[in-house]
Structure 1
Amino acid sequence: MTIAAEAGGSVLAARYVARMASGDIAPDPGQAKVVAALAQLEQRIAARRLARKSSALGWLFARREDAIPKVRGLYIHGAVGRGKTMLVDLFYECVAVRKRKRRAHFHEFMADVHARIFQIRADMKAGRIKESDPIALVAAALYEEAWLLCFDEFHVTDITDAMILGRLFEKLFDLGVVIVATSNVAPENLYEGGLNRALFLPFIGMIQQHMDVVRIESPTDYRMEKLGGVRTWYVPRPDQTMADIDREMEKVWHRVAGVDGGAPTSIVSGGRTIPVPRAGGGAARFDFHELCGVPLGASDYLRLARSFHTVLIDHIPTLDQDRRNEAKRFITLIDEFYEKGVKVVASAAAEPEELYLGTEGAEAFEWARTVSRLHEMRSSDYIARPHGRGDSQASGDTTGLVET
């Protein structure tokens, strides 16, 4: 493999080669092609930063568009489980941009954009802002916060998003924002079959004008490979202790998240920050109490479901009537994870049907659905289900679906 030679000393390429040498990543020509493209982008960004610093008067016109070398971004598309998310995460870690960069799930980014537009329109109506173009103001604010944007699961299914994207990205590209995106579909297939799609087509041309497009052609679905043959529900046998189960869960975690075991992170949901004790390789790991013993709701669990394709949950206890709040949260958690195709690996005190001992309230009836879903989520058919594709979409309506 010639990744290092092609990349010319790229930090990203060196890190990838090191992980491959350690056995954490298998040699994959499809991924190597994307690594080379990301490494070239890494170097273009480094050259951009150097060009700004090398000008003795650079600070005078740092905000002038013609003083900022424009850098083409990268649009990576391909089938589920080929490593797109992992490669962009690696790029984000290695690229020589320390502050003004942002890594986001595309859906959450658009939710943020809508919230900003709503607030600006309210300020305009109240006379606090005199400008007349809220999208231009949002683009300017986004640029001030980050000139490198990395998106996961880039897709368009909503007509409102489709109408906003062209104007928003035109402003972002004009400002010099560099965009890296992963998607399950090629640019020309975005918003396919969508309402008034003809109005969306100029945005596709904009992507092709400002971003290099590369397809990852890997024969291996690494998500299936990592979870194939792995138990997903661990209950101690009579000859086992919970410590034995913890060691088995740790092995699964390193198989999914990588040899380094990931690192703590956090996500933002509704203005709140949710700590994620360990995250890596598109997966997250929590203790049961960290998910269901604290006041989280459906929107928080949906945010987690969109952010991680696999979640490990340690130490699910038996739940009685006195712990009905935790049971209710767990029911909601599994509902959201199931709908988004999140893979769940868990250690528990008992099998699903024996976990909830309460007999009163809605939870006692709803638990039966949770038990059914937990058993289905252990099946090979569910493991093969793409992340983000819920039961309601399994009938064949895949318009705009995207997984990484």
Structure 2
Amino acid sequence: MPHQGYGPVGGERGPVRAELARRVAAGTLREDAVQAGIADRLDRLWRELREAALPAKSSALGWLFGRRERPAAPRGVYIHGSVGRGKSMLMDLFFDTAPLERKRRIHFHEFMAEMHGRINAHRAAVKAGEARGDDPIPPVAEAVAAETRLLCFDEFTVTDIADAMILSRLFDALFARGLTLVATSNVAPDDLYRDGLNRPLFLPFVETLKAHTDILFLDAPTDYRMETIGAGDLYVTPLGPDADRRMDALWRSILGGAAERAETLPFRGRSIAVPRAGAGAARFGFADLCARPLGAADFLALAARFHTVVVDGVPVIGAAERNEAKRFILLVDTLYDAHRRLVVSAAAPADRLYRAPSGTEAFEFDRTVSRLIEMRSDAYLAEAERRRTGGEHTMTPAGA
């Protein structure tokens, strides 16, 4: 197994393994030998990062020559496996305790949008005579490496050709400048950007990734987050304190110990605000998605990024809320077509949510009711799970 040989040094547990053991003892996690092995590997990286930082702090020569001589970066870690196995939780435990000030945890798509922005800014500066050099990759990599020694990507996936074309050169430059990468993904490196446009041009990045990270497979047999969630838990009604408590408990189960953060999803030159995100899932209030000017392409972007969408507080919708009804119909249609999991709290059962006597939306909402019911069926959930665990969850938004 790829994680063998990463046991505690001298029998001493590091912070990741120690916290994992604490949660097992508290009953919030099950004991899992595969997770423990990966935790030990992350703890080894924790020690290597700490040791690499010591010369710069304790040695006069380190201060004197620090700008000229870059220490060799500790080898990073790439953890892949199906959803719900604890990848995000392990990375978050590592990131939160990593003994560095210059560390960053960011979603891959957000990071790449930032890199494209920096590249464009450099080109504009060259055109204006404010910078020199036709190749923007070295100065951009230099700036990123000056800010960040440890970069953590959760749910790493490549769907955009513009990202694919620059990844190899960008990360060659970043690794050469002392950056360490930790990433989680649902797919092995060899399966990244599979069937993507001009994929042969992307393949050097795969070799770069293998050269600078240990590839670990988290092959735990169970989706721990979902085994305690039944189909009846996916649609909670009526609204009220009890529904809020149930939704919060479901959200904790979905996170499975991973940290949640607000996230910004760059898309078509703008951004979609995600108030709460973690472990490949997103949580919104009804108004976040249906009272804002969002359309099919936005919902496709959400479906491409998240395998589970949680929506709190769906009200009874009347004829006066025609726009909200249209967006809710479109949201359900998009998630249904993508076989994403949807968790909803609502003011009424699905067949009593829309109360308009006539109109196009009344007709279309009948389909929405049918889909909301089907999305809780064993067959639908099994197919959604098959697509996630089979690496078929990635989709590219139209026009992205």
| TM-score of Structure 1 vs Structure 2, range by shorter chain | 0.7 to 0.9
Which residue among 146, 150, 153 is the counterpart of 1:151? Answer: 153
Aligned residue number for residue 262 of structure 2: 266
Segments of 5+ residues of structure 2 without an aligned counterpart are 1-5
Relative to the length of structure 1, the TM-score reads 0.81
Shift of residue 209, structure 1, vs aligned partner? 1.5
1:34 alignment partner AA: I
Q: Distance in 1 between matches of 2:385 and 2:133?
A: 41
Q: Distance in 2 between matches of 1:37 and 1:82?
A: 16
Aligned residues: 388
1:305-360 residue CA offsets vs partner (Å, 9 max, x unmatched): 55554343332110112223333443344345445544222221122232122467
The question of whether the paired residues in 2 share the 8 Å contact of 1:192 and 1:400 is answered with: no
1:41 equivalent in alignment to 2:45:
yes
Q: Distance in 2 between matches of 1:75 and 1:116?
A: 26
The question of whether the paired residues in 1 share the 8 Å contact of 2:303 and 2:340 is answered with: yes
1:207 equivalent in alignment to 2:214:
no
Which residue among 63, 68, 85 is the counterpart of 1:82? Answer: 85
Identify the range of structure 1 (369-378 vs 299-308) with the bigger mean alpha-carbon deviation.
Answer: 299-308
1:148 alignment partner AA: L
Identify the range of structure 1 (247-256 vs 164-173) with the bigger mean alpha-carbon deviation.
Answer: 247-256
2:308 alignment partner AA: T
The question of whether the paired residues in 2 share the 8 Å contact of 1:7 and 1:40 is answered with: no
Q: Map 1:244-393; keep pairs closer than 5 Å.
A: 244-258=242-256, 265-270=261-266, 274=273, 276=275, 281-293=279-291, 305=303, 308-338=306-336, 341-358=339-356, 363-364=361-362, 366-385=364-383
Shift of residue 49, structure 1, vs aligned partner? 1.8
Q: Distance in 2 between matches of 1:267 and 1:342?
A: 19
Aligned residue number for residue 19 of structure 1: 23
The question of whether the paired residues in 2 share the 8 Å contact of 1:266 and 1:273 is answered with: no
Aligned residue number for residue 97 of structure 1: 100
Q: Distance in 2 between matches of 1:185 and 1:344?
A: 23
Secondary structure of the residue aligned to 2:227 is: helix
Identical pairs, percent: 47
Shift of residue 227, structure 1, vs aligned partner? 2.7
Q: Distance in 2 between matches of 1:388 and 1:177?
A: 35
Q: Distance in 2 between matches of 1:195 and 1:273?
A: 25
Identify the range of structure 1 (38-47 vs 222-231) with the bigger mean alpha-carbon deviation.
Answer: 222-231
Q: Map 1:116-195; keep pairs closer than 5 Å.
A: 116-195=118-197
1:216-239 residue CA offsets vs partner (Å, 9 max, x unmatched): 121112244143455211224xxx
Cα root mean square deviation, aligned: 3.6
* CA distance 1:6–1:212, change in 2 (3 Å): farther
Secondary structure of the residue aligned to 1:50 is: helix
The question of whether the paired residues in 1 share the 8 Å contact of 2:259 and 2:278 is answered with: yes
Shift of residue 17, structure 1, vs aligned partner? 1.2
Q: Distance in 1 between matches of 2:377 and 2:284?
A: 22
Shift of residue 304, structure 1, vs aligned partner? 5.1
* CA distance 1:145–1:329, change in 2 (3 Å): farther
The question of whether the paired residues in 1 share the 8 Å contact of 2:110 and 2:264 is answered with: no
